[in-house]
């Protein structure tokens, strides 16, 4: 499970199994990071914001 930390970063809890959504976010974040030269945290933030916007419309 991906958790947002109070410090602004992210943590992946090893004891919790990955969900399909977690896998998608991680895979997308790495692609965005590579394409846009963002930090990993910036890439994850961008993916989560896009996903939240999509869920609002659905």
> pLDDT digit of tens for each residue in the chain (58 aa)?
666 666 766 666 666 666 778 778 778 887 888 888 888 788 888 888 888 888 888 7
d(CA 15, CA 1): 9
Sign (positive or negative) of CA dihedral 43, 44, 50, 51: positive
| pLDDT for the residue numbered 15 | 62
Q: Is pTM, for the whole model, over 0.75?
A: no
E-state strands within the chain: 2-4, 10-12
What is the token pair recorded at 27? 């895979």
C-alpha neighbours within 13 Å on the C-beta side of residue 52: 6
Query: Nearest Cα to 22, choosing from 42, 51, 55?
Result: 51
Domain boundaries, the chain: 2-57
């Amino acid at each position: 499970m991906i958790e947002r930390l109070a410090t602004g970063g992210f943590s992946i809890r090893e004891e919790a199994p990955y969900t399909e959504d977690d896998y998608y976010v991680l895979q997308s974040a790495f692609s965005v990071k590579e394409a846009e030269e963002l930090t990993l945290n910036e890439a994850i933030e961008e993916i989560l914001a896009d996903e939240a916007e999509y869920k609002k419309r659905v």
